[in-house]
Structure 1
Amino acid sequence: MCGVAGIRRFDGRPVDEEDLRAMMRVLAHRGPDDQGLAVRGPVGFGHVRLSIIDLAGSPQPMATPGGRHLLSFNGEIFNYRDLRRRSEHDFRTDGDTEVVLATVARRGPRGAGEFVGQFAFAHHDFGTDRTWLVRDRAGVLPLYYYVDGERLVFASEIKALLEVLGDKVRLDRDQVRSYLRARAVHAPATLFAGIAKVPPGHVVEVSGRGEVVVAPYWQLPSPEDVLDCTPAEAVDLVEEGLRSAVDASLVADVPVGAYLSGGVDSSLVVALAEAARRRAGSNEPIATFSAEFGDPRFDETEYSTLVSQMFGTDHHRVLIQPEDFRGSWEHLTWHRDAPVSEPADIAVAQLATAARQQVKVVLSGEGSDELFGGYPKYRYAGATALADRLPARARTIGARALERALPAGRGKLRIAVRALTGEPRTRMEDWFAPFTDYEIDALLGTSHRPAARTVGHRDPIDLMGRLDFDTWLPDNLLERGDRMSMASSLELRPPFLDHRLVELAYRLPSAVKVRQGQTKWVLKEVARRHLPGRVVDRPKVGFRVPLDTWFRGELQELARDLLSGSGSFVESLMDPAVVTALLDDHARGRRDEEIRIWTLLSLEMWGRRFFVGQHVGV
């Protein structure tokens, strides 16, 4: 994994090399092994490198022999050897970077459709005076940009753009509502006004006059494109697709490890990775890593230990404690470029720090739930349509009353009931919402409603999966995965997001994803061929952090001081009485408000770090 940065001026003036170097310094954690820059008049590209493939070669930025094409590339192309064999290009290096350069020089940015892997890159064609920013299909790797009348500035992380843009950047207040609804801001927007994300599977083309065109080069299969297969055939297809994806994700010139929670997803990835190692004749055990929280409700040690012993991995357990949150929250907010949206983010960062001491690359199970209907909410996707038979006002009043009456321990049921208070046009997006629209109205003192997105689908489960893949996965989970791993210079690879497996998953009938009330049925049937039943059939835990008790104990004073103390960033945006009531309800045990408190605290930390200039230092 690497970091890319660049400046393209539209007025013909040369790029200031020091601006480019400043951006690269900020990205140094993404590429501690090497760095380079190339400046040709009004075009300047920079690159920092974490060496994974062709360790001694493939310096970047890389240009074609005649100098017409220039590339700065972040990622790994798993099928690069096959593309080399089929190409007539006279390669000078042994890595995947030159394969990307040659392919895009020949086919343009849509050549990205030939790549299997995860990537984000910038390419400039001096012949046409056009710059292309391209991001992989699922959005595993990030790329941000800013365009005004003078220049295009782009980088792998927003903080690098801030080195050049300075005081031009302001808070985008309209996106605060988006953050409160989703704990993330959906592409192409960010919380920084004027700074955009390249959407997954898209090309951003910028002309020499600064004209911007954003277009997809890949999309999910059409809802009408459904495989005609039996459940047994679906299991075979998914097993073969996942095996191929895991095999591809092991392409590296350095050791590859894996996260192992003991859940179905990570355990199945480890099982298939170990099988691939044996086929390759390797005797080295895979290094695996799991997090522990000292709370029996979320303790998966029994299962991660079982799987580790079963496959002979070199297993490492990492204990996460409340003081880890106090000590790293601000630092990781800087890495995240956004509010640390999930409580698990900090735990993932601690896990990455431990993993980096052993390996440079880890595999994860990210993406499985979105592809195969794994979240508990998928059981109820169809049932929500029944709520629309009630008058909207009666439904909303009844659902709010029921949600308030539920005990603190019924978190999943509360989420489902709260989703019913939303409008039909946004309900599928509201299942993960920490705040409903009416709660955000109370916080912000406005009643603005975002426009609903239109997504083609064949049934409620298919719709929920497509929405999760388009928004929740790239803008929340994958951003988390990239930033928290790269904070320790660790490359994260999610085999489930191999685009070939993604395309297969969205062509499967929904009936093999949720079958007789069981979520993720087809994947669990694959897992039964490789794992013990006690691992496959145990209840889903997820990567949970015991914040409910921590916010009534070790972190209660921190939360209250930051959200209601002098100089609070959140207080400057929201009604302080509403915030205080939320804190009181949780402290007294009336309601479990851990996710909403976390959402506000993370926004507070982010605001102080990037706009108030007040380093918290907790």
Structure 2
Amino acid sequence: MCGIAGIYHLETPKPVDPARVEALCDAIAHRGPDGQGVWTAPGVALGHRRLSIIDLEGSPQPMASLDGRAMLTFNGEIYNFRELRRELAGYGARFRTEGDSEVILAAWQRWGPECVTRLHGMFAFAIYDLDARTLFLARDRLGVKPLHYASLSDGSLVFGSELKSLLAHPLLRREVDPLAVEDYLAWGHVPDTRAILKGVSKLPAGHSLLLRHGAPVPKPVQWWDVSFAERRKGSVADLEAELLYLMREAVTSRMVADVPLGAFLSGGVDSSSVVALMAEVSARPVRTCSIGFDVAALDESSYAEDVARRFATDHVSRRVSPDDFTAIDRLAAMFDEPFADASALPTWRVCQLARESVTVALSGDGADEAFAGYRRHVFQHSEDRVRALLPQGLRGPVFGALGRAWPKADWAPRPLRAKATLLSLAADSATGYARAIGVTPPELRETLYSETFHRLRGDYRAEDGVTQLMREAPARSGLDRAQYADLKHWLPGDILTKVDRTSMAVGLEAREPLLDHRLIEFAASLPEAMRVQGGQGKWLMKRTMRRVLPDPILYRPKQGFVTPIAQWLRGPLAGAARDIATSATLTRTGWFDSRRISELTEAHIGGVSDHSRLLWQLLMLDKSLAGLGIA
């Protein structure tokens, strides 16, 4: 795991000052504390910060191919590199090192841009081909590893693992994209289709970019996609056996490391499954870690301890106070862009705990998206049945009127909070799901914006991108399309961004075996009943894991990391919440109606309604803009 950066002159191949690339790399030194390197040639420079995981001494970067005709800077891990190495050796390739970096170079020289289809793993890399004078950028299938880039006024393109790397270049414009602000308020993060700064792009997951001197920057080329259009046939027993095989392969392939390795263990289905499969093949006790909270309603540590005992892991747990809001400034700085998933805070804490004893930690991320594990997937499945029974001409007026009239009863028991469901049923499947995954609904956003921002935003609405993604998805059903949207939008923009930044902030490599692309492709081909059945998501996965995990682990209500932001913003952060409306940074933008924000703040502090997620979004936006120098 590492950090990469570079500069490529698209027009005249002018010399690149190595000190400039060093500055880009220094900005992401936390991603690679074990080593650094810079390579330059006319018109190009590649930089690297290394966190040593495999071949600790033998694979410094940037790395040259054996013949010196290609140079690589690489972030990630290739899990099938040994198999590829043997195949390439059969074609005559020779190797000096024992790591995966040199295998990528040999794959490039054998297959060119198509080499990415042969790589199994998580990666973002750049290869400069000295013969063709081209720069090739690529990102893994699911977007586990990030890659940002931007064209600059001197005719160059700058790229880096994180936005802060690009910000180290003096020619990068620091002008906020108002459409990214609309996206952020809708989703709680800036999705991969956009960046908070104008002119900055994120290479999409499963895409590559081939740059040539004298040619404009082309559009990224998609080299991988997942299809929900086919349905796998077979008995439940056969599907269980195939799933178990794929999960075992995914876990064992990610246990290769020359440094201490362990796992996050929350006590939920996903992390417990990963730990169970690790324990099967590990000669030593698996190292596991979890955090608990000193508020019983938020604490899952007892479940993690039960699983640790069951598999005799070397387990360490730490109890933390939910009143951990003093770290907000550090948290905001990790993400560069505004990021409002409050579970980032406990994720960072568990990464800190893991880093005390291991350098690599396996997680259970990805199973919910792949196997329909979120409650919203179950709702989507049920709502689509209602949509199929009632025509839109009836549903729209009836459910729409009921939804608008139904009170937003944040205080009520869950069955009585029907407003969101009614509004979702009034819409088509894609529009309803876009509403389900949103943080701040469009009706509320409209009341927040000033006339100035309304003009800047124009006709753009954040939900349109997700509804278009779902309508164009290679899929058969509403559930298929919802999961496709999660894999393409939610997963890289929120979940993987959260894990990457919080783990890299402490020099920890996080690996996600349940995001093995073969496992994702298998899950996407399952009949709906193998994903959602009896009001339960992840049906086949839970059934498969019953052979090793008890029902209380498999079938207890999903919780996840919970941060008590509603209580914070009524208590110790009430003053900070009140300050949002008059924040110098937000006021100077002229984007928001400060009186409306004050109304919502007082309603929240007074317990009249729960606006914690919106207030948290605005607080993190304020801190992010200040960190970017937009103040």
TM-score, structure 2 as length reference: 0.92
Contact in 2 for aligned 1:74/1:119 (Cα 8 Å): yes
Q: Which residue of the partner structure matches residue 221 of structure 2?
A: 215
Moved more, 484-493 or 227-236: 227-236
Q: Which residue of 2 aligns with 1:71?
A: 72
Question: Would you say the 8 A contact 1:406–1:414 is kept in 2?
Answer: no
**Residue of structure 2 equivalent to 1:588:** 606
Query: Partner residue of 2:591?
Result: 573
Q: Residue 422 of structure 1 contacts residue 437 of structure 1 at CA under 8 Å; is this kept in 2?
A: no
Compute the displacement of 1:340 (Å): 2.8
Q: In the TM superposition, what are the counterparts of 1:323-402 in structure 2 within 5 Å? A: 323-326=323-326, 328-385=327-384, 386=386, 388-390=392-394, 392=396, 395-402=399-406
Q: How far is 1:561 from its partner? A: 2.2
Equivalent residues of 2:263, 2:286 under 8 A apart? yes
Does the 8 Å CA contact 1:121/1:135 hold for their aligned counterparts?
Answer: yes
Q: Residue 611 of structure 1: CA displacement?
A: 3.1
Partner of 2:252: 247
Contact preservation (8 Å) 2:396, 2:427: no
| Gap change, CA 1:261 and 1:460, over 3 Å in 2 | same
Q: Once structures 1 and 2 are overlaid, which stretch shifts more, 48-57 or 446-455?
A: 446-455
Residue 616 of structure 1 is matched in structure 2 by: none
Question: Which deviations, in whole Å up to 9, do the C-alpha atoms of 1:346-371 show, x marking residues without a partner?
Answer: 11111111111110011111111000
- The number of equivalent residue pairs is 606
Mean Cα deviation higher: 450-459 or 51-60 = 450-459
Taking the aligned partners of 1:605 and 1:458, their CA distance within structure 2 comes to 42
Structure 1 residue 257: deviation in Å?
Answer: 0.9
Counterpart of 2:623 in structure 1 is 605
Distance 2:429 2:556 in 1: 33
After TM superposition, the structure 1 stretch with the greater mean CA deviation from structure 2, 187-196 or 50-59, is: 187-196
Correspondence for 1:96: 100
Q: 1:3–1:418: structure 2 CA closer, same or farther, 3 Å change rule?
A: farther
Query: Structure 1: how far apart are the matches of 2:433 and 2:231?
Result: 22
Query: CA distance change for structure 1 residues 263 and 130 in 2, over 3 Å: closer, same or farther?
Result: same
Structure 2 matches for 1:555-566, cutoff 5 A? 555-566=573-584
Residue 307 of structure 1 aligns with an amino acid whose one-letter code is: V
Of residues 466, 478, 489, the one that matches 1:460 is 478
Instruction: State the shift of 1:457 in Å.
Output: 1.5
Cα deviation, residue 134, structure 1 = 0.3
Contact 2:149 2:201 in 1 (8 A): yes
Query: Which segment is superposed worse, 336-345 or 586-595?
Result: 586-595
Equivalent residue number for residue 544 of structure 1: 562
Deviation at 1:604, TM superposition (A): 1.5
Q: What secondary structure is seen at the aligned counterpart in 2 of 1:190?
A: coil
2:433 is the alignment partner of 1:434: no
- CA separation of 1:605 and 1:393: change in aligned 2, threshold 3 A: farther
Deviations 1:550-583 (A, max 9, x none): 2222222222223444554597321112222222
Identity of aligned residues (%): 35
Asked if 1:8 is matched to 2:12, the reply is: no
Cα distance in 1 for residues equivalent to 2:426 and 2:596: 19
User: Equivalent of 1:182, from 184, 187, 192?
Assistant: 187
Which string of whole-angstrom CA distances, capped at 9 and with x for unpartnered residues, describes residues 315-373 of structure 1?
222333355322x2222222212123211101111111111111001111111100001
Deviation at 1:419, TM superposition (A): 4.1
1:407 Cα deviation (Å)? 2.8
Q: Is the 8 A contact 1:71 1:124 kept in 2?
A: yes
What code does the residue aligned with 2:376 have? K
Counterpart residue type for residue 216 of structure 1: Q
The whole-number CA distance in structure 2 between the counterparts of 1:184 and 1:39 is 35
Give the corresponding residue for 2:128: 124
- Matched residue type, 2:334: H
1:110 aligns with 2:103: no
How far did 1:57 drift? 0.6
Cα pair distance change 1:419/1:163, threshold 3 Å: farther
1:514-549 C-alpha deviation (Å, 9 max, x unpaired): 012211111111221111121112111122122222
Q: CA 1:405–1:545 in 2, change beyond 3 Å: closer, same or farther?
A: closer
How far did 1:108 drift?
Answer: 1.4
Shift of 1:420: 4.7
1:217 maps to amino acid? W
CA RMSD of aligned residues (A): 2.0
Q: Is 1:19 aligned to 2:20, yes or no? A: yes
Question: How many angstroms does 1:289 deviate by?
Answer: 1.5
Q: 2:5, 2:48 within 8 Å by CA — same for their partners in 1?
A: yes
Q: Residue type of the partner of 2:275?
A: V
Match of 2:276 among 271, 276, 281: 271
Q: 1:128 to 1:213 in 2, by over 3 A?
A: farther
Report Cα offsets for 1:10-62 as digits up to 9, x if no partner: 32210111110101111110000011110012110000100000001111101
Shift of 1:312: 1.5
Equivalent residue for 1:235, pick from 231, 235, 240: 240
Alpha carbons 1:182, 1:430 under 8 Å: kept: no
Tell whether the 8 Å contact from 2:378 to 2:532 is kept in structure 1 after alignment: yes
Query: Residue 522 of structure 1: which of 540, 556, 560 is its match?
Result: 540
SS in 2 for 1:87: helix
Please tell me the residue identity of whatever aligns with 2:459. H
One-letter amino acid of the counterpart of residue 496, structure 1? L
For 1:448, the equivalent position in structure 2 comes to 459
Q: Distance in 1 between matches of 2:25 and 2:587?
A: 29
The C-alpha deviation readout for 1:168-207, integer Å capped at 9, x for no partner, is 2310011111111111222231111111101001101222
In structure 2, C-alpha distance between the alignment counterparts of 1:73 and 1:172, rounded to whole Å: 29
SS of 2:598's equivalent in the other structure is helix
Report the alpha carbon displacement of residue 421 of structure 1 after superposing the two structures with TM: 6.5
Q: 1:556 to 1:55 in 2, by over 3 A?
A: same
> Which residue number corresponds to residue 404 of structure 1?
408
- The separation in 2 between residues aligned to 1:415 and 1:157, in whole angstroms, is 35
Matches within 5 A, 1:415-426: 415-417=420-422, 419-420=424-425, 425-426=430-431
User: 2:6, 2:47 → 1: CA distance?
Assistant: 6
8 A contact 2:336–2:627 mirrored in 1: no
Deviation for aligned residue 1:422? 5.9
Distance 2:136 2:481 in 1: 31
2:184 corresponds to which letter in structure 1? Y
- Which residue among 196, 203, 207 is the counterpart of 1:198? 203
Separation in 2, partners of 1:3, 1:324: 28
- How many Å apart are 1:214 and its aligned residue? 0.9
Distance in 1 between the 2:45 and 2:359 partners?
Answer: 29
Letter in 1 for 2:128: H
The amino acid of 2:308's aligned partner reads S
Query: Kindly tell me: are residues 341 and 517 of structure 1, through their superposed partners in 2, closer, same or farther at Cα, counting changes over 3 Å?
Result: same
Write the deviation string for residues 297-324 of structure 1: whole angstroms up to 9, x where unpaired.
Answer: 2211221110111111222223333553
**Residues 316/563 of structure 1: CA separation in 2 closer, same or farther (3 Å cut):** farther
> Alpha-carbon deviations, 1:403-449, whole Å to 9, x = none?
52453553985654554576654322221211112221221243734
Q: What amino acid does structure 1 have at the position aligned with 2:360?
A: V
Cα distance, 1:569–1:134 mapped onto 2, change above 3 Å:
farther
Distance in 2 (CA, whole Å) between partners of 1:352 and 1:443 is 36
Provide the residue aligned with 1:501 in structure 2: 519
Matching residue of 1:473 = 491
CA deviation after TM superposition for structure 1 residue 266, in Å: 0.6
User: CA separation in 2, counterparts of 1:163 and 1:350?
Assistant: 27
The residue that corresponds to 1:318 in the other structure is 318
TM-score (norm 1): 0.94
Residue identity matched to 1:193: K
